[in-house]
Amino acid sequence: MKRRDLQRSGQPASDLLEDAVRLLRRAPLSAWLAYFIGTVPGLLGALYFLFDMGHSGDAAARLVGSSLALGAVWLWMKCWQAVFCCRLRAELLLLDPPTWTAGRVARLAAAQIALQPLGLIVRPLALVLTLPSIWVATFFQNVTVLGDGEDDGVWALFRRSFAQCLLWPLQAHFAASLLLAFGFFVWLNIAIAIFSLPQLGRMFFGVESIFSQNPMGMLNFTTLAVSLATLYLCLDPLRKAIHVLRCFAGSSLRSGADLEVQLQGARRAAPPAAFAVLALLFLGALGPAPAPAAMKQEPKVGSTELSESLDDVLSRREYSWRAPREDQPQAREDSWFGKIMKDFGEWMRQQVETLTKWVGKMMKKFGDWLFPDREFSSSAGGGGLWSWLGNARVLGIGLAFAAVVILIVLLVRRRRPRAEVVAEAVAVRPDLNAENVTADQLPEDGWLQLARELRASGQLRLALRASYLASLAHLGHRELICLARHKSNHDYDRELQRRARANTALLGAFDRNLDAFERSWYGEHEVTDATLGDFSQNLERIRAC
């Protein structure tokens, strides 16, 4: 693409992604170490904050301190990501690695601390408004790329980042769309890998866990958060490289840095070429002496014959591909994505043309069969025997089609039943005498209704078990326990103690009900109305806690 076109519309998004991948492949190990030193602690801190605030009983008491620690870790991540982008820019400009002094580190940290926290407020608002979200995200990415400590002030960094985010908006939106589509498939692979880990551990190492026995137990917020954090770790370096290239191209519009990079590349390639030329000259000097003039005289050829001979040779097939195209614009080399889209468009065009020709032929054949006499009717002025025969054929086809439609309607009406029977789902009543009954077979209200019916019929022992299953269903609905067929009562007790360790009233009521149930169901203690009354009171306490 010409430089003037690049200034107007920017590089195509597909080519920009390819250049970003090449830049990441050229990145040195020190750049990757800087990125992971900053990003991995930031992601681990965010995951710990989410899990602690979501499951801890005393989360409210630690909210302020944990939030401040999370903010510090997040700023740490942004500073190291700025170092990573600075190292990528040095690699792109073919410069030596930057020298980090105390003043430059202080300016980098001050710039990131001053501007990056604004994104925590502006980015959600931009996502709600939808339209400016790409511009806002590009601005804060530019702050990460340009805020490397070279500028003297934060305001200068703000102006440069804002001016850069206004360049080539169509390119930024296309690049974000491609990253979003690519990120979805990356996340899908990560999620599949996470779900496969328990099964692989059981297959290769014999490690049995709750997730290998119940894979659906991994469908929770923890798995989603870990998969999204892994996706960020995989996709964010590519996004940083894209914005490094955009900032480089934007600054080159005035400084001509891209031309300077090309000249530096030519200078680096010049010494080997010069050495080769000198070697050829040296070998020529050591070669045999030139022959006398009398021995190397050749017959002279006229200019006209020489021109005709050159035209004849250049018109051959082996040289015709080298000739420039006079009437067509110079075609640039398409990227792999552009080639795929071009081939797909050509294939679609061929398929549409083939389908159109086939439909046209079929319509022509049908018209020839329906009106075989159209040449005769036209010659006769639209009347005569042939025209009458054509109209009769059309009338016969219409009558046959109407007869087929009437026959289908009659058959459908004949097979339709006179009265529709409405089927109602009948709830299956679990057999409480069976040992394989689980609390997820009925909702909490269903177990309580069953317990009342059994208590009214005098089956107090079964009513006690139905009430206990109602308590498990209630706790499972509150996500304090995870219902599973392989778990025992003590497994539920330990799980409840982990998740609700601060709720002593709930734990005490559940322990009393568990003790009463096991003494009556597995022991020989008799179940009385008083036992059921105490059990119901404890169940109400559990529901109220």
How many residues are there in the chain?
545
Quick one: 346 and 445 in the same domain? no
How much of the chain exceeds pLDDT 70, in percent?
77
List the one residue out of 539, 496, 502, 485 whose CA is nearest residue 517: 539
The CATH code of the domain that includes 482 is 1.20.120
Which alpha helices (DSSP H) does 315-335 contain, by range?
A: 317-320
* Domain assignment present for 91: yes
* Domain assignment present for 446: yes
Lowest mean pLDDT among 55-69, 370-384, 419-433, 492-506: 370-384
Quick one: 405 and 536 in the same domain? no
Please give the model's pTM, rounded to 2 decimal places.
0.50
Residue that terminates a domain, selected from 261, 292, 316: 261
Range of the domain at 468: 439-544
SS3 2: coil
Quick one: 387 and 463 in the same domain? no
Quick one: 373 and 451 in the same domain? no
* Domain assignment present for 54: yes
What does the pLDDT read at residue 199?
86
Quick one: 186 and 92 in the same domain? yes
* Domain assignment present for 206: yes
What does the pLDDT read at residue 267?
61
Confidence of residue 381 (pLDDT cuts 50, 70, 90): very low
Quick one: 35 and 181 in the same domain? yes
Q: Which residue has the higher pLDDT, 429 or 113?
A: 113
* Domain assignment present for 378: yes
Residue that terminates a domain, selected from 261, 291, 309: 261
Does residue 393 carry a pLDDT above 90?
no
Q: Which residue has the higher pLDDT, 21 or 311?
A: 21
Quick one: 497 and 394 in the same domain? no
What does the pLDDT read at residue 189?
93
Confidence of residue 127 (pLDDT cuts 50, 70, 90): confident
Residue that terminates a domain, selected from 261, 280, 302: 261
Residue 401 burial (CB count, 10 A): 10
Quick one: 160 and 86 in the same domain? yes
At 498, list the tokens: 């982990």
Does residue 432 carry a pLDDT above 90?
no
Q: Residue 90 half-sphere exposure, CB side, CA atoms within 13 Å?
A: 17
The predicted model gives 291-311 an average pLDDT of 61
423 Cβ contact list (under 8 Å, min separation 6): none
Quick one: 43 and 100 in the same domain? yes
Quick one: 456 and 390 in the same domain? no
Quick one: 527 and 397 in the same domain? no
If one counts the domains in the chain, the total is: 3
Which alpha helices (DSSP H) does 371-440 contain, by range?
A: 374-379, 385-415
The predicted model gives 446-475 an average pLDDT of 88
Quick one: 239 and 357 in the same domain? no
Confidence of residue 275 (pLDDT cuts 50, 70, 90): low
* 147 vs 159: CA distance, rounded Å: 11
